[in-house]
Amino acid sequence: MSVIAWMAGLFYLPRLFVYHVEGLKKQGVLAGSEMDLLFQHQERLLLKAITNPAGISTWIFGLALVFTPGIVDWSQAWPWVKAGSVIGMTWFNVWLAARRLEFLAGKNQLTGRQYRMMNEVPTVFMVLIVISVIVKY
């Protein structure tokens, strides 16, 4: 459940950023407007109430599995691919939090197109994790 909630947050937060950037641009609205504050509120709730707690619990449960004897064979490649991908998703979570702070300060520099491209990052990590666990090479 933690992984599903974490992934949902990682997928939806960049999409909110797209709507935030493009909504303000389309409406000709400035930072600090009612629309801007609404997006900031939604982004904060998604990050603080769902994405971050789900990421933390994913790490806790994942480490519990890692430290359970006989569960992970570190002589194979798949746990390393999975671990690297989880670290990558954690980096992405931190990156999203930093972008939220930029919106809060009125200093966002990225476009909707750039956020759309970044929205694919968690998909790449998810595919790597699922394939490595299924194939277990």
Task: Give me the residue spans of the domains in the chain.
Answer: 2-135
Three-state DSSP state, 115 = helix
pLDDT value, residue 122: 96
pLDDT, one tens digit per residue, over 90-134 is 999 999 999 999 999 989 999 999 999 999 999 999 999 999 999
pLDDT value, residue 17: 97
Residue in the structure block whose two tokens are 């619990």: 57
